[in-house]
Copies of this chain bind each other. A is one copy, B any other.
Amino acid sequence: MVVSVKIAFDGTNYHGFQIQDDVPTIFGTFQEALIKILGHSTDIKGCSRTDRGVHAKCFILSFETHKNLNLSRFPLAMNANLPIDIRVIEANEVSEGFHARYDAKGKEYTYYILNSHIDDPFNNKYYYKVASNLDVNKMNEAAQYYVGYHDFRSFMAQKSNINDCHRTVYSAKVEKIDNMVIYKVSADGYLYNMVRIMVGTLINVGKGLYEPEKVKEIILAENRAEAGPTVPPQGLFLTNVFYD
């Protein structure tokens, strides 16, 4: 059977998703627990390569096993073998050939900006703090320029070398709840650091460094230097993955 698994994790103590030698990763930690449960090793596919320090409220993995697993009991069994910062939420049987990454039609990311000069003593690992006042309406106006099919080269880390930088952003929204400015974006795919550079650019708009319309020019410039800074990973959450 092929199984898709939904997990959530706090990325603070991990070097991202992808397995690496000698450092803790989400993949490596999940794989170790899975081998204990299955009694055999198997090829695990993840829906995305999340960066070091990025979190996920919804991350999809898939694997194949010849065992007839009781999937309703699988989360409990896995969670007993995982550290508390990685939790298996649910598991479902999927059709032969399902691939968590290639079959994903899109993903939603959410970025949290605490707009205050006072940190939150409880959730300080889960936002980026900006003390200066942010104009949320202008940020949301600016975010609408991201929507659509564009070359997002301006929003890609310079060390990345990808040829086709076209992506389709389905929706983008900035809203404020209490002191928290929340950016939600859905797209068919993302370039390296794309969401974090989008947010850095929106913060510049929110601070009044430039007008919302400038975002249109930044996209057209196809030049990383035109966009805002890359904000830190701890405010970023993968919040949804879409399949047919």
Contacts and interface: CB of A to CB of B under 8 A. Distances in A.
A84 interface: yes
A87 B119 contact: yes
Interface string A30-46: 00000000000000000
A147 to B, nearest CB: 29
Contact of A119 (B84, B119, B126): B84
A217 interface: no
B118 A79 contact: yes
Contact of A121 (B85, B119, B122): B85
21 contacts: A8-B120, A8-B121, A10-B121, A10-B122, A55-B122, A75-B117, A75-B118, A79-B118, A79-B119, A84-B119, A84-B121, A84-B124, A85-B121, A87-B118, A87-B119, A87-B120, A87-B121, A89-B118, A122-B123, A122-B126, A123-B123
A163 B119 CA distance: 42
A86 interface: yes
Interface string A78-101: 010000111111000000000000
A88 B123 CA distance: 15
